[in-house]
Structure formats: C-alpha cells, structure tokens
Structure 1
Amino acid sequence: MRHTLPFAPQFYVTAPQPCPYLADRMERKLFTALQGEQAEKLNDALSKQGFRRSQNVLYRPSCADCTACLSARIDVSKFAPSRSQARVLRRNRDLSRRATSPWATEEQYALFRDYLDSRHAEGGMADMDMFEFAAMVEETPVRSRLVEYTDPDRIEDDRRGLRAVCLTDILDDGLSMVYSFFDPSEPRRSLGTHLILDHVRIAREMELPYVYLGYWVPGSPKMDYKARFSGLEIYRAGRWQPLGDPKGYDSETHPLSVAPISEQVARIALPDTRPVPG
C-alpha cells in the first residue's frame, strides 16, 4: 500500500536588514521554497494570504515590531478607471501587447537597466547583471508569462520598440504582477499605471476576479500610487478587506503588534493536496 506524506513546506525567517520603504526601519521576511509538483497550489494558496513570489521563493513581511506592509489586490468587479487613468489608457492606445513564455532577452535587459538607473539606482537590484535578470524572469515553477508592450512606430530602435514589460503569474483567482519595468524617458505615458490598467483588462478577458499588486505601505511615497486604484483591497488581520480611506492608516510601530513567528506559521492555511476521487 502506498502512503503519501502530508504536504508540509518548511518556513524560515530572514535576518533583519534595512527597510526599502520606510526610513530607520528594519525589515524581516517569512519565506518558504516553491518547488515540486505542489508549487502551483502553494502559490495560489499563499498568494491569498499576503505572500509574494520571487523566483523559487514565496515570502511575506514579518518584521519584529512593524506591520506597515499590506498586501494589495484590485477587485476587478469593483474597479472603474478615474478620469486621469482613462487618459492614460488613451495615451497608450498605440502600444501593442504580447504575452510570451518567461524567457529573458537582451532588449528586455536593456530596458530593465534604463528603468533601474532612472528610478532605483540605489536599490537592491541596481547591480543586477544579465544572468541575474534571466534568473529572475526564467526561474519559475508556476504558470508565468512575460507581458511585453511595444510601440510599432519605434520598432527599429535599439530595443525594437519595447516600452514596458511585466512578469505575471496566473493564479487560480487572478493575475499576480510579480515585477514590472518600463521606459523612463516617456513620463507622460504613465507606463506603470498603464501596466496595471491593462492587467485589469486582461483579468476581465480571462474572467479572473483579482489583480495582485504586491505591497502597499502607508507612509511610503514609493507606494502611494496603488491607493489610487478603485476596488483596492488589502490583506489585514488575516483577511482581505476594502482599503477605504488611505489616510486612515499609519505606519507606527509597536513591539506587540506582530505575533510570534510560530503563531504566524500555525495560522497559514496550506492547500489541500489530496487526490480528487475519480
């Protein structure tokens, strides 16, 4: 008789390091490996609980005395573009969208370098070379796509008209925008906003209810833009809830605001991996 061991991924905690969002804070992450035949189920289940994917790892902030980082997603059924967002869609009507397998190219890397040098020159990815970029894009054990946006009128330039790229996971209940980058030389296009708006459109086409955006951090200017999308929900106190008034949140710290790691892990709901009866 064959016996199947229960699905029990191991969770770990990173060492504290400077927070990239809030000054004078230290961040810490709870993480687990994403591998094997249960990878997609685990990614689906943990994404619903505030986790994000980075290559073969799922992680969630677990700072010692801070709970400012809140996982955010758009409820597609409740989203309606604002006037400024509608203008962004009109400005980018000339762009062509193409979804491909997650395979890195030199054109993508050139755009990625321009984006980092302009927007995140001091960030943790600033020194990423082509091989590391390829690993970020290609090392995925789940259903992922690279969504490319090109300008047909500039197809002969050094990047073959490439204007924006998003690495996107396809979950059982939505699209997860893992990482995106775009041409920083055309600020009037608001390409970062356009990427999100178009992913809402893709989710509707695929009849998926959510678009996962990563983390919204009150008090961080880098993350203010996410609160501008209607239908936004945040994962807080173990459940998804409407964002409401962004000004009603703060980023104050308190040593008792975070549950012990063992308690956090015990609360994680793992996917049911039992075979479905035939």
Structure 2
Amino acid sequence: MIENRPWLTVCSHLVLLLGVFIVALPVWVALVASTHPSSAFGSGSIPMWFGDQALANWQQALVGKEGQASDLLRMTVNSLIMALGITFGKILISLLSAYAIVFFRFPFRSAAFWVIFFTLMLPVEVRIVPTYEVVANLDLLNSYTGLTLPLIASATATFLFRQCFMSIPGELVEAARIDGAGPIRFFFDILLPLSRTNIAALFVILFIYGWNQYLWPLIVTTDDAYYTLVMSVKRMLSVSDGDIAWNQVMVSTLLAMIPPVLVVIGMQKLFVKGLVETEK
C-alpha cells in the first residue's frame, strides 16, 4: 500500500524548485546581461531584465566590427576540434584496450589492467610538468595535436568498457568463433553494436570534459590561433586598463554553454540508457 503524504510531496517539490532556481539564476543573469550595453554595469548593479542590445552584442561577438570572423568564433571552432578529438581518441583507445584485456589471453593481463587503472591517481594536473616537457620536445606546442594527444588516454573509460565486455555471455563468443568470425569481425559486428549505449553515454561525458579544459590549453598554447573558448572568458576579464566589457563576457559565457547543452539534449535518451542498462 502506497501512503499518501501531501506534506512530503510539497517539501520535495520545494527542494526541487530551489535547486532549479540556484542552477538557473546564473544562466538567467548571463542571458540578461548579454542584452545590455557595457555602460549598464558601470554602477556595479546587475540588470535582471532584458535590454535592447542583444542583436548588436551577439553580432559584435560572432561577426566582428568590420564584418570579419571574430576571435570568439575561431575560439569556438578550436574548442570544438579539441573536444571532439579528445572524445573520439579516448573512446577509441579505451575500446581497444578493454577489448584486448577481456578477450585476449596474454601474460600479466590483469596486471596491465591495474596499471592502467592506477593512472586515475595521476590526473593531468599532477603530471603536467613532465607532460609539457614531452609535448615541447616533440614540437607539438601551438597545435591541435598538442591540445588533444596528452588527454586522450582514459582509465575510467577503459574500466567501464571492460565491465561492459565482461557482461557479454561466453556462449556468444563461442558462437561467433564457430561461425568463423575473427577478432576484427567480432569487434565490429558484435561488440560495437552491443556497446552503442555505453559509447553514447561516454561520448557526452568526455565531450563536456574536453570542452571545459582550461589549464592544459592555457599552458601549451601561446599563439592566438589556437586559443579555446573557455580561455577567452578569462582573457576578457584580465583587463589592465579600462572597464571590463561584461556584455561581451556574458555572450562568451553563453556561447561556451551552448555546445555541451546541445550534446546532452540530443543524446539524452542514449545517455540515460547507457548509464542504467545492465543486461545485454
């Protein structure tokens, strides 16, 4: 019997509404601020309703003052290249490494997995000095390869794919072997279709991870041509003289939020299914 507790329902909804308000308020402030002129923030107060400069602010940010592509648009392309490169690189390497660990028999197979897993204790921030030295020695500074290559290895994705592959029945592997399927055909025709939802869930997580990178691009890029969008927000706030163009800062902030939001919305069903699906 399900008990009806109206006060519990009201309290739970109030908590949810409070959480939505806390999360949505900064987005609302950024959206409103992007529609006002820069002079509207001189008094230190933040407008809470829309202004009449939305089209001019967005046009200046995306098109530029002289009809040429702005730096903000170029940074968006750089962020997109970096995020997609990291995402596809992590998924590919993790798929292959998990496939080798689960389905191939070789000495020290378990030790190889645990060595990969222990790298979770060594994120980029911990090994950033030797990683930078390697990238510099390979002459990969100020390049898309330097932005993406050091970040594509992922112990987390390898672990998740390993758990996914271990749930595949052994009878399926034997049936594929009897039908004459080799390792490559088994990987492409059986494993990849069965891992579709897991790949989709990891794609969303890894894309957001790659898109939000700030420290690594800041270190390996000194050329404006390779700056990312997340870096642009910090650069716009670092003004030595004069007032900060808060309207342009908010436009940059909103533009930085759009791609991850679109990825989450577009892949929402596969993302949720990939996180909760346990049966093959």
Q: Could you say which structure has the higher helix fraction?
A: 2
Greater C-alpha radius of gyration:
2
Q: TM-score, normalized by length of structure 2?
A: 0.23
Structure ranking higher in strand proportion: 1
Which has the bigger relative contact order, CA under 8 A and spacing at least 6?
2
